[in-house]
Amino acid sequence: MTGIDDIARQMLVRRGFVLESATLGWNVIGIVVLTVAAISARSVALAGFGLDSLIEIGASTVVIWELSGTGEERRRRALKLIGVGFGLLAAYLLVQSTWVLASGFRPHHSRLGVGWTAVTAAVMFALAAGKARTGTALDNPVLKTEGRVTLIDGLLAVAVLLGLLLNSLAGLWWADPAAGYVLVYYALRETKEIFGDR
């Protein structure tokens, strides 16, 4: 029975590695796509989402590191690193979105941004579901937390997509920095939840 349990656990750990590697690869490509889209559209929401992708890369790297070893101290440190990343994202987006709104800075339309955020939302929701199932089966709080990070990444993609569409289709330029504030809210909430558990 123990041998079967060990085999099942090893399969779950491998699945966790695959899910995190897929997330890592997607977000590495995303950084490039979002940088191009953000610069060409002068969009704070796309820039913020690119930074969120950078944090997701860090979070995935932390989970891969944590899955390769065990121990409560390693798990605490991994969760703390994810929380710090979210706190930094919230601070940047708060300043940037406020500056854009106060200055009346108008972003351009971005077909690339619309397409990428739409596909990213679907990919992140699928990856988040896989991480939630695998993290629960392994009883691994770091993988489960990173699964929430991935779910938030999908929700943020939807928020950014909405801001981009409102700007493009209805001329509501303020929807772009408003989407940045949505990212601030989720980043702060996740930071509080991570550090509140400590």
pLDDT digits (tens, 9 = 90+) for 105-137: 788 889 999 999 999 999 999 999 999 999 999
The letter for the amino acid at 85 is G
**Alpha-carbon distance 87 to 7, whole Å?**
38
Name residues whose C-beta falls within 8 Å of residue 65's C-beta, 6 or more positions apart in sequence. Answer: 74, 78
**Alpha-carbon distance 46 to 44, whole Å?**
6
**For residue 193, what is the enclosing H or E element?**
helix 175-196
Give me the count of residues in the chain: 198
Which pLDDT value is given to residue 11?
A: 93
Q: Which of 153, 18, 108 lies closest to 145, judged by CA?
A: 153
The label of the residue with tokens 């349990």 reads 5
- Give me the half-sphere count of Cα atoms (radius 13 Å) on the Cβ side of residue 61: 10
Residue 155 CA, chain-centre distance (Å), reads 9
Name residues whose C-beta falls within 8 Å of residue 101's C-beta, 6 or more positions apart in sequence. Answer: 174, 177, 178
Which pLDDT value is given to residue 100?
A: 81
Beta carbons of 90 and 191 less than 8 angstroms apart: yes
Which pLDDT value is given to residue 70?
A: 60
Q: Is the pTM of this model over 0.85?
A: no
Which pLDDT value is given to residue 71?
A: 66
End-to-end CA distance of the chain: 34
The tokens for 86 are 């979210």
User: Which stretches of the chain score pLDDT less than 50?
Assistant: 1
Beta carbons of 55 and 150 less than 8 angstroms apart: no
Beta carbons of 121 and 158 less than 8 angstroms apart: yes
Residue 104, burial from CB neighbour count under 10 angstroms (0-12, 13-18, 19+): exposed
Which pLDDT value is given to residue 197?
A: 59
